[in-house]
Amino acid sequence: MKAAVLRQVGKPLEIEDVQISKPGPREVLIRTVAAGVCHSDVHFYEGSYPYPLPAVLGHESAGVVEQVGSEVTTVKPGDHVITCLSAYCGHCEHCLTGHMSLCQSPEVRRAQSDEPRLTQNGAPMQQFLNLSSFAEQMLIHEHACVAIRKDMPLDRAALIGCGVMTGVGAAIHTSSVRPGETVAVIGCGGVGLAAINGAAIAGAGRIIAIDLSPGKDNMARTFGATDFICSADTDPVKAVMDMTNGGVHHSFEAIGLGKTAEQAFNMLRRGGTANVIGMIPIGQTVSLMGAAFLSEKRIQGSLMGSNRFPVDMPRLVDFYLSGKLKLDDMISRRIKLKDVNEAFAEMKGGQIARSVIVFDA
């Protein structure tokens, strides 16, 4: 099969022939139909987060089940599925207490003594985040995908697999936004727009979108923002404080910088919660005023929207098909696998929400 391979940090991905194994007892072979180009891929591509190489990147995807292993019970050939990097075992403490996105069980991966899922001319190829969706096929654990209704377009379903689940889940699950509460979202890329949409679905009374680019104003409002602040020429913390009664109930940092995490915390009202969704590069620190904790302000991380993805993703599909979840406007363009490096460059420029690789294109 054809796959986009990262061999050296910072160097363009190469489209190469890669061999994929047959499904083990609890594994599923999927024909990839669509894969979103997510900013997390860029972090690993640039080396902000180390990863063993060579690797097939990609982790936001949807496709059709081709084969299943002998013990698979959750999907069957022909099913349309969304994949998720939050593969879960189902019986560890995290899973049993409803925190499936925190599961790190080695059961969902092949052991080092087993044949690798991906190889090239007999040599192992690293599978990225248990998925590697920049490829024509994926071989994954059955608990890394969920079946969805077949009237859902798979190019839009792919976005739910990471960015949308991460943003919507941060609002609904991690921070538990309630009707009428105030929200600020820093960064209006794909994840930030999804957080805005999630806050709107949850019934937030006021949603303030913040971005360096003034061109994101209309798009943020399409996803549910009631206000927009261009942080290129305005102090966003002061602006939020001026617009609200002493700050917001919930803030979401969707860029991945120490500075913006600090801003998210500093724009809270008493008792508010700041959620760091973005991947802050290793080595960056966040500095906060200790006295602020006396007013019960909180700052917390959010991993993949604290998801229970076998339940959440089919519901998000229903939200899209009923008009509540905005996915059409999130896709900036549809591309072929060979255009993935160009999509990385466009994403770094900050002018687009998502490019989606469509494998039939």
**Co-location of 11 and 151 in the same domain:** yes
pLDDT at site 349: 72
Asked whether residue 343 is domain-assigned, the answer is: yes
What is the mean predicted confidence (pLDDT) over 23-35?
98
What does the pLDDT look like over 162-195, one tens digit per residue? 999 999 999 999 999 999 999 999 999 999 999 9
The answer on 313 and 206 residing in a single domain is no
Backbone angles phi, psi at 267, to 5 degrees: -95, 10
20: three-class secondary structure by DSSP: strand
Specify the number of domains making up the chain: 2
Closest by CA position to 2, among listed 339, 280, 289, 314? 339
Residues 20, 61 share a domain: yes
Rounded to the nearest integer, the mean pLDDT of the chain is: 95
Q: Is residue 169 in some structural domain?
A: no
Residue 254 and residue 323 in one domain: no
* Arithmetic mean of pLDDT, 67-82: 98
Per residue, the 3-state secondary structure of 270-306, as one string, reads EEEEEEECCCCCCCCCCCCCHHHHHHCCEEEECCHHH
Task: Return the closest-CA partner of residue 62 out of 176, 178, 10, 140.
Answer: 140
Among the listed residues 220, 274, 223, the one whose alpha carbon sits nearest the alpha carbon of residue 251: 274
Q: What is residue 177's predicted lDDT score, i.e. its pLDDT?
A: 98
Whether 149 and 19 map to the same domain: the answer is yes
Residue 168 counted as domain residue: no
The DSSP annotation for 233-253 comes to SS-HHHHHHHHTTSSEEEEEE
Residue where the block lists tokens 């690798």: 116
Q: Give the pTM.
A: 0.94
Least confident of 64-68, 241-245, 300-304, 348-352: 348-352
Residue 13 per-residue DSSP state: P
Q: Known catalytic residues? A: 38, 40, 43, 59, 162
Residue 170 is assigned to a structural domain of this protein: no
In this prediction, residue 319 carries a pLDDT of 98
pLDDT at 345 over 90: no
Sign for the CA dihedral angle at 51, 54, 55, 56 comes to positive
Contact indicator for 210, 187 with CB cutoff of 8 Å: yes
The predicted pLDDT at position 351 comes to 62
Query: CA torsion sign, 332 to 333 to 339 to 342?
Result: negative
Q: Is the pLDDT of residue 43 over 90?
A: no
Are 258 and 276 part of one and the same domain?
Answer: yes
44 within 8 A of 116, measured Cβ to Cβ: no
Query: What's the confidence (pLDDT) of residue 120?
Result: 96
CA distances from 89 to 75, 141, 160, 168 (A): 16, 10, 21, 23
Structure confidence at residue 356 as a pLDDT band (50, 70, 90): very high
Residue range of the domain that includes 233: 176-301
Q: Give the separation between CA 331 and CA 160, rounded to whole angstroms.
A: 12
Domain assignment of residue 167, yes or no: no
Q: Which pLDDT band, with edges at 50, 70 and 90, does 352 fall under?
A: low
Instruction: Answer yes or no: do 84 and 224 share one domain.
Output: no
- For the segment 13-18, the average pLDDT, to the nearest whole number, is 97
Looking up residue 93, the CATH number of its domain turns out to be 3.90.180.10
What pLDDT score does 347 carry?
Answer: 80
pLDDT band at residue 285 under the 50/70/90 scheme = very high
Q: Give the C-alpha separation, 98 to 309, whole Å.
A: 11
- 70 is a domain residue: yes
**In CATH, what number is assigned to the domain containing residue 195?**
3.40.50.720
Structural tokens at position 311: 């339940």
pLDDT at residue 348 in the model? 75
